[in-house]
Amino acid sequence: MFEIAPHVETVVIAVLALLCVASLSRVWMGQRQPERDLLELKQRIRSWWWMIGLLFVVLLLNRDAGIVFFACLSYLALKEFFSIVPTRLVDRRVLFWAYLAIPLQYLWIWQEWYGMFSVFVPVYVFLFLPVRMLLLGDSQGFIRAAGVIHWMVMLAIYCIGHLAALLTLPVLNPAAGYLGPVLFVLFITQFNDVCQYVWGKRIGKRPILPRVSPNKTWGGFLGGGLTVTLCAGLVGPYLTGMSWSLALAAGAVIAVCGFFGDVVISSVKRDLGIKDTGQLIPGHGGILDRLDSIIYTAPVFFHFYRYFAY
C-alpha cells in the first residue's frame, strides 16, 4: 500500500523530526517559564501535527487519495469563503451549483484532461453561474453577487486544484516520485511564511503596504525571500525534476506569490472586519488562514514547473 519514493521518505522523516523539535521546545519553554501562557502555541503545534499527519497519510496512500484530499480542501475553503462574504439569500441555489463544480473540476484532474481542467472554471463555470442567477429573476445586486461568487470559486476550486494537478504530472525524478513537486511547493510556501515572519521580526522596519498589512516589511520580504530562494535551490533538485538554477528561480517565484496570496486574503479579512476566517484549525483560525499563500503559489508554480521543467 505504502510505496514511498526514497527522497519523499527522507522529507517525511525530516518534517516529523522538525515537529518533534517544536513540541519538545514548547515543553521546555513551559518548564522554564511556567508563568507564561503557552496555550496558543500549544494549540498551534498540535494543529500542525494534525495537518501534517493527515497530509502525509493521505498523500502516501496513493495518488487518488491525494486528489480526493485536495478536493475536500477546496470544498472547505469554498464553504469558508461563502460564509464570510455577503451573498444574497436568493443565491443559495447558485452557491449549490458552485459546490457542484468541485467534483467535476477534480474529475478532469483525475482524468489528466489538462485542456478541460484549465478552462472549466474560468470559462464554463464563469458563464454558467450568472445564467443560473438570472433564472432566479432578481437583478438587484446582480453584478456584485456574480463577481463575488466567481472570485471565490476561482480561488477555492481553480487555484487549489493545481495542487492535485501537480500529482498527475509525469514523474521527472523517479527518486522523488509523483509526490515530490507537491511537497516542494507546499513546504517552500509554508517555509516562506515562516521566514518572512521571522526576518520581519528581526530586521523589518519599513512596511510594504502600511494600510493593508502593517506587519509585512521590506526587511521580512527580502530576507525571507532570499532564504527561501536558497533553500528551494537546495531542495528543488532533490524533490523535483528541476536543476538547481531552475529551482532557485522557482523559489523566488514562490516567495513573491506567497507574499501576495497572504496579503490578498488579509485584505479580504480587513474589508469584512474579521480577524480570522473561521475556527476549523485551533490556534491557526480558519482553513483560509492556512491556505492563503498556497492559493497563489500553487497555480503559478504548476505552470512554471510544467513549462520550464519538461
Partner 1 sequence: MQRWLKVLFFLLLVRPLIVFVIGLNVFQRERLPRRGPHVLVANHNSHLDTLVLMSLFSWRDLHRVRPVAAADYFLANRWLAWFSTHVLDIIPIRRDGGGNRRDLMADCRAALAAGDIVILFPEGSRGRPEAMQPLKKGVFHLLKTHPEIPLTPVMLRGLGRALPKGEALLVPRNCDVAIGEAMQVGDDSAAFMGALEAAFETLAEQCRGSAWLDEWQ
- Interaction of residue 135 with partner 1, rule CB under 8 A: no
96 touching partner 1, by CB under 8 A = yes
Q: Residue 46 interacts with partner 1 (CB under 8 A)?
A: no
Q: Looking at 6, 53, 86, 122, which residue binds partner 1 (CB under 8 A)?
A: 86
User: How far is the C-alpha of 255 from the C-alpha of 127, rounded, in Å?
Assistant: 33
Query: DSSP for 41-71?
Result: HHHHHHHHHHHHHHHHHHHHH-HHHHHHHHH
Sequence length of the chain is 310
Q: Does residue number 115 form part of the binding site for partner 1 (CB under 8 A)?
A: no
Q: Which amino acid is at 270?
A: R
- Identify the CA nearest to 220 among candidates 240, 206, 238: 206
Query: CB of 175 within 8 A of CB of 10?
Result: no
Q: Is residue 141 a contact point for partner 1 (CB under 8 A)?
A: yes
Residue 230: which of 243, 211, 249 has the closest Cα?
249
Cell numbers of 231, please?
Answer: 533553500
What gap in Å lies between CA 266 and CA 259, rounded to an integer?
11
93 in contact with partner 1 (CB under 8 A): yes
| 136 contacts partner 1 (rule: CB under 8 A) | no
Comparing CB distances to partner 1, the nearer of 149 and 300 is: 149
Judged by CB under 8 A, which stretch of 5-13, 81-89, 112-120, 196-204 contacts partner 1? 81-89
Closer residue to partner 1 in complex, CB, 76/294:
76
Neighbours of 249 (CB within 10 A): 17
Question: In angstroms, what is the minimal distance from the CB of 82 to partner 1?
Answer: 6
Site for partner 1 in 193-212 (CB under 8 A): none
Among 3, 35, 89, 170, binds partner 1 (CB under 8 A): 89
Q: Which stretch binds partner 1 (CB under 8 A): 57-65, 127-135, 168-176, 272-280?
A: 272-280
Find the shortest distance in angstroms from Cβ 306 to partner 1.
32
Long-range contacts of 54-60 (CB under 8 A, 24+ apart): 55/186, 56/12, 56/15, 59/179, 59/182, 59/183, 60/2, 60/4, 60/8, 60/12, 60/179
CB-based contact 182:11 (threshold 8 Å)? no
Q: How far is the CB of 251 from partner 1 (least distance, A)?
A: 34
Counting contacts by CB under 8 A, is residue 95 touching partner 1? Answer: yes
Is residue 131 a contact point for partner 1 (CB under 8 A)? no
Q: How far is the CB of 87 from partner 1 (least distance, A)?
A: 7
- Sole binder of partner 1 in the list 280, 282, 283, 306 (CB under 8 A): 280
> Smaller CB distance to partner 1: residue 22 or 280?
280
Estimate to the nearest angstrom the gap between the alpha carbon of 265 and the chain centroid.
Answer: 11
Q: Which residues of the shown chain bind partner 1 in the complex (CB under 8 A)? A: 75-76, 79-80, 82-89, 92-93, 95-96, 99, 141, 272-274, 278-280, 286
